[in-house]
Amino acid sequence: MIKTLKKFGFIALLGFTGSACISVPIASAQGELLKRKTTEETILEKLRQARPDINFGEPRPAVIKGLYQVQVPGGPLLFVTPEGDKFIAGEVFGIDASGFSKIEDPYVIEERKKALASLNSKDSIVFKPKGKTKAVVYVFTDIDCGYCRKLHSQMHTYNEGGQEKPGYNDLGIEIRYLAYPRAGIPSPSADKLISTWCAKDKQDAMTKLKAGQTVANAVCDNPVAKQFQLGGQLGVNGTPALFLPDGKLMPGYLPPEELAKTLGI
């Protein structure tokens, strides 16, 4: 769940004044130009003045003309005015004759794809199909998250309402888990994830912990903190968070057959 942002007053920046046809030494004029801030710098300065405790992402033009977007790591995407004095937090939807559809910035999608492609598969905990892999989905997960546990319980064939249904792996979907302790680091949730990544049999440890069982505490060089930071940068603010091969983010749980349909397999 995205926590509601508290309202804070914004500190106004000093404006620049000037007029044509005045005598200004060239060196002085050049110095003034160097002092002028870009729109992105102005926005970032205003946000940091209002909330110095937040490490805001870099501003860039948004899909809504005239606004800029700034990602709050582990929080919402902000759509900010060029003056940096107002913002809207949330998602953008397009409107057409067929209804509403979520719009994501192509630049952001491409950056996600690059970030995930750069990951070493050895740093993720992988659950592969026995047969051919038709699609790879990265899932930022937490051990104690209820829907994370539900997702994991449906990795293979499962029973629902007395009916046997195919799991993610059965449908050719390879799940690559990345760590995202919702309580942050340090926390008991983070400790469980670290123990999972440091276990001799990572898949077995993940399955046991997701089923409410215990595993031996373990410590080692692990990617949990790095992956938690990456998740925040990519827009993760809850778990499970599913990243599809095309770079789109699907926040929340999706049943295996629904995910397969979304993937087009």
**Residue 191 sits in a domain of what CATH number?**
3.40.30.10
In the set 145, 149, 191, 198, the catalytic residue is 145
Residue 25: predicted pLDDT: 44
Confidence at residue 175, expressed as pLDDT on a 0 to 100 scale: 98
Integer Cα distance of 148 and 125 in angstroms:
14
Pair (164, 241) in one structural domain: yes
Burial classification of residue 54, based on how many CB atoms lie within 10 Å of its CB (0-12 exposed, 13-18 middle, 19 or more buried): middle
> Does the annotation mark 142 as catalytic?
yes
Report the chain's mean pLDDT, rounded to a whole number.
Answer: 88
Query: Domain end: 106, 133, 155, which one?
Result: 106
Read off the pLDDT band of 248 (50, 70, 90): very high
Looking at per-residue confidence, does 13 or 262 come out higher? 262
Same domain, 37 and 131: no
Distances in Å between the Cα of 46 and the Cα atoms of 8, 10, 80, 85, 120 are 11, 7, 10, 7, 37
Asked if 49 and 131 sit in the same domain, the reply is no
- Together in a domain, 132 and 228: yes
Report the distance separating Cα 219 and Cα 232, nearest Å: 23
Query: Is 21 in the same domain as 60?
Result: yes
Residues 83 and 200 in one domain: no
Closest alpha carbon to 46 in 86, 7, 89: 86
Is the domain of 219 the same as that of 199?
yes
Q: Which of 112, 144, 148, 176 is catalytic?
A: 148
pTM surpassing 0.75?
yes
pLDDT band at 3 (very low <50, low <70, confident <90, very high): very low
Residue with the larger pLDDT of the pair 37 and 156: 156
Q: What range defines the domain where residue 96 resides? A: 1-106
Q: What is the pLDDT of residue 37?
A: 87
123 is catalytic: no
Annotated active-site residue in 112, 149, 176, 182? 182
Is the pLDDT at 97 greater than 60? The verdict is yes
Instruction: Respond yes or no: is residue 105 known to be catalytic.
Output: no
Partners of 102 in the β-ladder: 93
Query: Which is the catalytic residue, given 112, 142, 144, 198?
Result: 142
Whole-number pLDDT of residue 13: 30
Pair (72, 141) in one structural domain:
no
Q: Provide the sign of the torsion angle of the four alpha carbons 228, 79, 251, 1, taken in this order.
A: positive
Q: How do residues 24-47 score in pLDDT, each as one tens digit?
A: 344 444 554 445 789 999 999 999
Respond yes or no: is residue 112 known to be catalytic: no
Q: Comparing 89-93, 138-142, 146-150, which segment has the lowest mean pLDDT?
A: 89-93
181-236 per-position pLDDT tens digit: 999 999 999 999 999 999 999 999 999 999 999 999 999 999 999 999 999 999 99
Range name among 117-121, 162-166, 252-256 with the lowest pLDDT average: 117-121
